[in-house]
């Protein structure tokens, strides 16, 4: 598919709107799963660490499968993937309403819904980056606020639905709302040249060129039979041989010739189909080798290598509060009558503010987006260290707002990735990074839950979380320092389309 220059507007704003609502609808329930988490604890009576796997899988499995999601978006386009994923999210939520135990939820809510969300996230980010260049930070900030607004609204909505219709009715209604993703996905029109030539065949489509030879040869055989039959008619007219004798002799010759030709045709067909399978397998293997080679080239970029470590540690430590903050308040014996709004809703609305603010800042030329991202990591680590000292609703609400705002750095992460590896390698690189992000999302809440099961308090767990985030931030800062880049650039060159961050550079 041939893409033209990003228009930075036009239909791109429609893409922003539908991507916003797509993330709102698909991520609303998984991000606000903390409300459901309390209900599942009471319904199934399992441990906190074991129950936390449901929410962590829902938010992590899609990211773990990001390489696969990237391949799907690259192969089929954002629109078909978005429509298909809408069915997955809606179906998974509705199936979860019939869950007899926690293990069923691992599949229905954790894997099915999580994978659908991962596909939708990759589709919305990819098509937005294709439509925007100069305003990419603003566009990514706008669409990413959809998931944050979904967290804010779905936290209160699911709580109200549970009170009115129970846990099962809540999941059925939320699943029905997710079907609106199909309408949003249908508007994700790909960005192509108006008079572009037909799309180049994929490697799989190119293989059958050899197979066409068989059809040509088979056609030649049929033509030869027709010529033979025509010659038979002409010869019969010249020699004036009686019909019954002539028919008997020549029909026998024709049938013998046809049988020989059919055997030859069958042998040729077997040979050609064998060659077709060999060529297909060879091309598939070559694609696999090319993918591995491109991956190795990406990891030669020091900033990219530090990014995958930072995103892994950030999600191990930074994601658990959005899932467990309500249980943290309950464990601190905070009276629910003191609640002005759910803590998860505070995280959600402040995440939306953070995504939009950080996305706008990323578009300023004087702002280095990598250093901005590192700053958010370091501040997140400090906020996590402060959670064990919060013993009232007010302090937990303040920390929830701070953590929510800093979690908004998701809006600038695709921007940082694009500037690091280039737009041509965005899909590949972003898929790899999201895999490690998904690994962190999947491991973070269960680890915190296990810490609580062992110690019967959350203090040790959040000290561990804060240490992980701070470590990732310092490693990324070290990789981005000009002195480090100067030393590494002398020994190795950055791969093509990569981006080296320096103090004077502007992202």
Q: Where are the domains positioned within the chain?
A: 1-192, 273-484
Q: Do the domains 273-484 and 1-192 match in fold?
A: yes
pLDDT at 215 over 50: no
User: Looking at domain 273-484, what is its CATH homologous superfamily?
Assistant: MFS general substrate transporter like domains (1.20.1250.20)
Give the C-alpha separation, 482 to 459, whole Å: 37
Give the C-alpha separation, 171 to 59, whole Å: 17
* Per-residue model confidence (pLDDT) at position 357: 87
Mean pLDDT of 463-487: 79
pLDDT at 256 over 70: no
Residue 189 makes CB contacts below 8 A (sequence gap 6+) with 11, 15, 79
Answer whether 4's CB lies under 8 Å from 130's CB. no
pLDDT at 23 over 70: yes
Give the C-alpha separation, 124 to 144, whole Å: 9
* Per-residue model confidence (pLDDT) at position 493: 46
Q: Give phi and psi for 7, each to the nearest 5.
A: -75, -15
Report, in angstroms and rounded to the nearest whole number, the Rg of the chain calculated over CA atoms: 30
Of the pLDDT bands very low, low, confident and very high (cuts 50, 70, 90), residue 205 is: very low
**HSE (side-chain half, CA atoms, 13 Å) at 214:** 18
Residue 402 makes CB contacts below 8 A (sequence gap 6+) with 350, 379, 383
Q: What percent of the chain has pLDDT over 70?
A: 74
pLDDT at 497 over 70: no
The residue ranges of DSSP E strands in 134-292, in sequence order, are none
- Residue 229's alpha-carbon distances to 147, 252, 409, in angstroms, are 72, 12, 78
Per-residue pLDDT tens for 46-82?
888 888 888 888 888 877 777 788 788 888 888 999 9
Of the pLDDT bands very low, low, confident and very high (cuts 50, 70, 90), residue 170 is: very high
- Dihedral of CA atoms 453, 27, 86, 141 in degrees, nearest 10, equals -150
Token pair listed for 357: 């603010």
Tell me: domain 1-192, CATH 3.40.47.10, correct?
Answer: no
Give the C-alpha separation, 358 to 355, whole Å: 5
Q: What percent of the chain has pLDDT over 90?
A: 18
Per-residue pLDDT tens for 93-112?
999 999 999 999 999 999 99
pTM of this prediction exceeds 0.75: no
Residue 22 makes CB contacts below 8 A (sequence gap 6+) with 82, 120, 123, 124, 146, 181, 184, 185
Mean pLDDT of 441-464: 83
Per-residue pLDDT tens for 266-309?
666 666 777 777 777 777 666 667 767 777 777 777 877 888 88
192 phi-psi bin (left φ>0, alpha ψ -120 to 50, beta other): beta
**Angle 500-305-359 (CA atoms, 0-180°, nearest 5)?**
60
């Amino acid at each position: 598919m041939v893409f033209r220059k990003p228009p930075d507007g036009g239909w791109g704003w429609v893409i922003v709107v539908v991507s916003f609502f797509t993330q709102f609808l698909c991520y609303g329930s998984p991000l606000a799963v903390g409300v459901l988490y309390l209900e599942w604890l009471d319904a199934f009576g399992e441990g906190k660490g074991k129950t936390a796997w449901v929410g962590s899988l829902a938010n992590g499995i899609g990211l773990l499968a990001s390489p696969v999601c990237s391949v799907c978006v690259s192969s089929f386009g954002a629109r078909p993937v978005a429509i298909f994923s809408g069915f997955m999210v809606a179906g998974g939520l509705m199936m979860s309403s019939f869950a007899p135990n926690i293990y069923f939820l691992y599949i229905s809510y954790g894997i099915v819904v999580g994978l659908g969300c991962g596909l939708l996230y990759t589709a919305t980010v990819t098509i937005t980056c294709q439509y925007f260049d100069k305003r990419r930070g603003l566009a990514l900030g706008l669409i990413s606020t959809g998931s944050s607004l979904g967290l804010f609204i779905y936290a209160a909505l699911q709580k109200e639905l549970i009170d009115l219709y129970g846990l099962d009715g809540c999941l059925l209604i939320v699943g029905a709302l997710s079907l609106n993703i199909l309408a949003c996905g249908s508007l994700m029109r790909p960005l192509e040249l108006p008079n572009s030539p037909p799309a180049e065949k994929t490697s799989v489509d190119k293989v059958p060129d050899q197979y066409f030879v068989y059809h040509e040869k088979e056609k030649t055989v049929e033509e030869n039979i027709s010529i033979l039959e025509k010659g038979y008619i002409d010869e019969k007219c010249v020699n004036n041989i009686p019909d019954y004798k002539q028919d008997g002799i020549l029909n026998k010759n024709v049938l013998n010739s046809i049988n020989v030709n059919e055997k030859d045709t069958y042998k040729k067909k077997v040979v050609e189909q064998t060659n077709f399978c060999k060529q297909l397998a060879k091309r598939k293997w070559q694609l696999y080798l090319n993918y591995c080679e491109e991956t190795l080239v990406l990891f030669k970029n020091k900033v990219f290598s530090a990014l995958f470590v930072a995103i892994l540690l950030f999600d191990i430590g930074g994601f658990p509060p959005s899932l467990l903050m309500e249980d943290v308040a309950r464990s601190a014996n905070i009276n629910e009558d003191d609640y002005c709004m759910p803590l998860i809703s505070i995280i959600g609305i402040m995440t939306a503010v953070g995504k939009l603010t950080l996305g706008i800042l990323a578009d300023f030329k004087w702002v280095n987006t990598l250093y901005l991202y590192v700053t958010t990591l370091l501040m997140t680590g400090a906020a996590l260290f402060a959670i064990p000292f919060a013993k009232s609703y007010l302090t937990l609400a303040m920390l929830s707002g701070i953590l929510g705002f800093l979690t908004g750095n998701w809006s600038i992460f695709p921007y940082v990735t694009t500037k690091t590896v280039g737009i041509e390698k965005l899909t590949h690189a972003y898929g790899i990074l999201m895999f490690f992000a998904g690994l962190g999302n999947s491991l973070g809440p269960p680890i915190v839950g296990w810490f609580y099961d062992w110690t019967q308090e959350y203090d040790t767990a959040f000290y561990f979380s804060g240490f992980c985030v701070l470590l990732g931030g310092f490693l990324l800062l070290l990789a981005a320092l000009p002195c480090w880049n100067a030393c590494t650039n002398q020994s190795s060159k950055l791969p093509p389309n990569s981006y080296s961050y320096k103090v004077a550079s502007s992202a």
